[in-house]
Amino acid sequence: MSDRSQILRRLGEQVEWDVLVIGGGATGLGAAVEAASRGYRTALIERADFAKGTSSRSTKLVHGGVRYLEQMNITLVIDALRERGLMLENAPHIVHDLSFVVPIFGLFDLPYYGLGLKVYEWLSGRLSLGPSRMLSPSETLVMLPGVRSEGLRGGVLYHDGQFDDARYAITLMRTFEELGGTAINYVQATGLIEHNGKTVGVHARDLETDTPFDLRAKAVLNATGVFTEQVLAMDGNRETLLSVSQGSHFVLPPSFLPTSNAMMIPKTSDGRVLFAIPWHGATVVGTTDEAVERASPEPHAMASERSFLMEHIGRYLGQRPRPDQVLSMWSGLRPLVRKGGGATSKLSRDHTILVRPSGLVTVTGGKWTTYRRMGEDAIDRAAEVGKLRKEPSRTRSLRLHGWTREPAAVESDRVYGSDLPRLERLSLEDPRMDELIHPRLPYRMREAVWAARHEMARTVEDVLARRTRALFLDARAAIEAAPRVAEVLARELGRTEQWKTRDLEAFASVARGYVYEGE
């Protein structure tokens, strides 16, 4: 792994890249891996941290999308189920099978959802994660202890995938580098370089040093998610392409769902899908679906979303949480491509690729599970625009960094895959590295060191939000752990006391938005 100065030097020394990707979320990283795996000289820049936005704030599911099946978007479901299977094969240390139970309360819902989820299973073909089956009321209560029993008519068991989204993104970044690509965070695209009406590169700025520089490329790919229109505006486009939808989540103690199974409510009273999912020793409940006027780097749950989650947790999990039992509260934004009007929940999750007259390629829409397919399609177009040699996609069977079939027993260790022995060695070299960063969190001090040395973590937030998932699991504990993490980062990165003070203030400002104080 190169240090930041070496990466910046490499960016400056390359006269022209084959592909330059703007955006370090799932789509951008997937496209970068796709391009580098074909042998194209590829660079990626991200103005914040990798997966800072939508890509670290999902419901942690790798799935075909049961609700898209109900909407009869069969093509999307089939594509997503195939990609779900590929993700499980290519990153088994991060993606795993999860059993879901749908509790059924309606008279005719048991055969309806039983058949629907059997079709969902059939559509996955040889990449199926397991058979679905109908459950009796007593079986449902055993698999979902604590679920509301009043009016319960049974349940349906089915299988889908689960993952750690931010850790998967970091794994893509490491894979990209191993393929010869060059990625950097905290570098912003400030404008496009044009020559004879064609996009030939990007004006960029290193946000750590406030230093401008230019990057030239045969093909420039805009993969900036909910901020897609900002980059398109640099090319003179003023049309509205996206509707932005917000999904919010609560994280609760495991006592709210004391089982290894997940729960899915396919249709709440107002037509939404609700999940309660075990994740890293906690219970994630979500998601909402609310239209928002504009994208924000740090979206916050609206009062209506908080009320919705509180009401439905009480309704289906049998107890309404106290404010201190909401360990973390976070929101993500979905870039939905406008195709007619209607509610954001009805808009398609298909991806869209646009090529501007200047040659700027944009990929947007889609969902985490289809990131690889989005990258493949986007690089096909970018190769055409840049007149690159034609190469087939190689990512369907590309094992990602850390690949192993022997996962660790503890989920917070499992995400490191084959890197885990090297990570554990840090504790042997310095016993202090084996200390927990906080008593209520599963992470150790060595993970902050590893993040700085090998995963391009530059701030306390990078470590506590995305290299570990501390902020998403217990916001109050993450705030309390921040000073110790800042000490480690300052030592590893050669930072000053003034930097520590500023970075802790910046982290506290962000982290307070994850703390639920009640209504």
- Mean per-residue pLDDT over the chain, rounded: 93
Average pLDDT over residues 288-312: 92
Average pLDDT over residues 57-72: 84
> What per-residue confidence (pLDDT) applies to 345?
42
Q: Give the pLDDT band (50/70/90) at residue 350.
A: confident
> What pLDDT digit, counting tens, does each position of 303-324 carry?
999 999 999 999 999 889 999 9
> What per-residue confidence (pLDDT) applies to 77?
87
Segment among 215-224, 315-324, 345-354 with least mean pLDDT: 345-354
Phi first, then psi: what are they for 335, rounded to 5°?
A: -85, 105
Q: Give the pLDDT band (50/70/90) at residue 436.
A: very high
> What pLDDT digit, counting tens, does each position of 465-484 carry?
999 999 999 999 999 999 99
Cβ neighbours for 98, distance < 8 A, ≥ 6 positions apart: 159, 160, 161, 162, 261, 262, 277
H helix runs in 228-286, sequence order:
228-234
Predicted TM-score (pTM) of this structure: 0.95
Note the CATH number of domain 4-54+166-240+348-385: 3.50.50.60
Cβ neighbours for 107, distance < 8 A, ≥ 6 positions apart: 153
Angle at the Cα of 495 (from 493 to 498), degrees rounded to 5?
Answer: 160
Q: Is the pLDDT of residue 64 over 90?
A: no
> What per-residue confidence (pLDDT) applies to 45?
98
Q: Which percentage of the chain shows pLDDT scores above 90?
A: 81
Average pLDDT over residues 56-83: 86
| Residue type (1 letter), 398 | L
C-alpha to C-alpha distance for 473 and 279, rounded to whole angstroms: 9
C-alpha closest to that of 247 among 299, 297, 324:
299
Cβ neighbours for 87, distance < 8 A, ≥ 6 positions apart: 62, 95, 161, 163, 168, 369, 372
Average pLDDT over residues 63-84: 84
Q: For residue 421, what are its two tokens?
A: 């022995």
> What per-residue confidence (pLDDT) applies to 65?
80
Q: Is the pLDDT of residue 188 over 80?
A: yes
Average pLDDT over residues 225-234: 96
> What per-residue confidence (pLDDT) applies to 339?
61
> What per-residue confidence (pLDDT) applies to 268?
80
Domain boundaries, the chain: 4-54+166-240+348-385, 411-514
C-alpha to C-alpha distance for 234 and 239, rounded to whole angstroms: 12
Contact 11/202 with Cβ under 8 angstroms? no
Q: Is 122 helix (H, G, I), strand (E, B) or coil?
A: helix
Q: For residue 313, what are its two tokens?
A: 């947790």
> What pLDDT digit, counting tens, does each position of 123-157 carry?
988 888 889 999 999 999 999 998 988 889 999 99
Q: Is 121 helix (H, G, I), strand (E, B) or coil?
A: helix
Q: Give the pLDDT band (50/70/90) at residue 108.
A: confident
Q: Are strands 242-252 and 328-337 parallel, antiparallel or unpaired?
A: antiparallel
Contact 187/46 with Cβ under 8 angstroms? yes
Segment among 98-112, 176-190, 462-476 with least mean pLDDT: 98-112
C-alpha to C-alpha distance for 488 and 508, rounded to whole angstroms: 17
Q: Is the pLDDT of residue 499 over 50?
A: yes
Q: Is the pLDDT of residue 89 over 90?
A: yes
- Torsion sign (Cα): 435, 438, 439, 443: negative
Q: Is the pLDDT of residue 269 over 80?
A: no
Q: Give the pLDDT band (50/70/90) at residue 344.
A: very low
| Residue type (1 letter), 230 | Q
C-alpha to C-alpha distance for 186 and 509, rounded to whole angstroms: 19
> What per-residue confidence (pLDDT) applies to 74?
83
> What pLDDT digit, counting tens, does each position of 27-60 carry?
999 999 999 999 999 999 999 999 999 999 999 9
Assign domain 411-514 to its CATH superfamily.
Alpha-glycerophosphate oxidase, cap domain (1.10.8.870)
Cβ neighbours for 376, distance < 8 A, ≥ 6 positions apart: 34, 393, 395
Contact 87/95 with Cβ under 8 angstroms? yes
